[in-house]
Chain A
Amino acid sequence: KQEVTQIPAALSVPEGENLVLNCSFTDSAIYNLQWFRQDPGKGLTSLLLIQSSQREQTSGRLNASLDKSSGRSTLYIAASQPGDSATYLCAAATGGFKTIFGAGTRLFVKA
């Protein structure tokens, strides 16, 4: 049974800092891994999708990596801004397209 864990559960950083959010999964037979952002009371916004054959994806200040052999993905946020404050969720899609979500990392960027 796939389990997805995110560390840390919460993070508070000053504006401008580079930061790394971690995601681990127990079953390496994933189809893809996706990172989302969720603002309070809102739906999910897709940030980055990494297919199982890929090692990383980049979008602006965001970079996500995937290491299937170790069951890990990281989301790197460069030069953080107060507008980055949100909950970040990773989700692993497995066979039959069952997607398992982590519990999320709540990020607060202080101005």
Chain B
Amino acid sequence: SAVISQKPSRDICQRGTSLTIQCQVDSQVTMMFWYRQQPGQSLTLIATANQGSEATYESGFVIDKFPISRPNLTFSTLTVSNMSPEDSSIYLCSVAQDGYEQYFGPGTRLTVT
């Protein structure tokens, strides 16, 4: 299994600002993903973070709003840009290896006021 850490664990931000969330894995992994979990809801995949190339975004999510970087096989960042209260959610990083079993980080709880 992989051990995943995320920073920050939580934050309260003002609308119109941006927040960058970091995801660090203790070993090299092939696949990294970013999910959003809105209050009381299940998880929705935002994008697949590709090492050395642009992320692959799911329908309804765009690079200008959620820019993602993945400079190497153990690290990725997700930025939530120009935030509004509707962006208040838990943002989760996950990784997958052989067999595609997914492991999740502890999440970042974002509140936008």
Chain A residues with CB under 8 Å of chain B are 31-32, 34, 36, 41-46, 49, 51, 89, 91, 93, 97-99, 101-104
Instruction: Give the Cβ gap from B111 to chain A, nearest Cβ, in Å.
Output: 12
Chain B residues with CB under 8 Å of chain A are 1, 31, 33, 41-45, 48, 58, 92, 94, 96, 99-107, 109
- CB within 8 A of A46: which of B42, B102, B106, B109? B102
Complex contacts, A41 vs chain B, CB 8 Å: 109
User: Can you identify 19 A-B contacts, CB atoms within 8 angstroms?
Assistant: A32-B99, A42-B106, A43-B92, A43-B107, A44-B104, A45-B104, A46-B1, A46-B103, A46-B104, A89-B42, A93-B100, A93-B102, A97-B31, A97-B48, A97-B96, A98-B45, A101-B42, A101-B43, A102-B42
Complex CA–CA separation, A92 to B89 (angstroms): 22
Complex contacts, B96 vs chain A, CB 8 Å: 97
Complex contacts, B106 vs chain A, CB 8 Å: 42-43
B42, B48, B99, B106 — most chain A CB neighbours (10 Å): B42
Known: A34-B102, A49-B101, A91-B102. A103 touches B92 (CB 8 A): no
Instruction: Give the dominant DSSP class at B's interface.
Output: strand
Complex contacts, A93 vs chain B, CB 8 Å: 100, 102
**A93: nearest residue on chain B (CB-CB)?**
B100
Task: Say yes or no: A104 contacts B42, CB within 8 Å.
Answer: yes
Task: Say yes or no: A34 contacts B104, CB within 8 Å.
Answer: no
**Given A45-B104, A93-B100, 16 further pairs, Cβ under 8 A:** A31-B100, A32-B101, A43-B92, A44-B43, A46-B1, A46-B101, A46-B103, A89-B42, A91-B43, A93-B102, A97-B31, A97-B48, A97-B96, A98-B45, A101-B42, A103-B41
Task: Say yes or no: A49 contacts B99, CB within 8 Å.
Answer: yes
Task: Say yes or no: A51 contacts B92, CB within 8 Å.
Answer: no
Complex contacts, B105 vs chain A, CB 8 Å: 43
Task: Say yes or no: B99 contacts A51, CB within 8 Å.
Answer: yes
Complex contacts, B31 vs chain A, CB 8 Å: 97
Complex contacts, A98 vs chain B, CB 8 Å: 45, 58
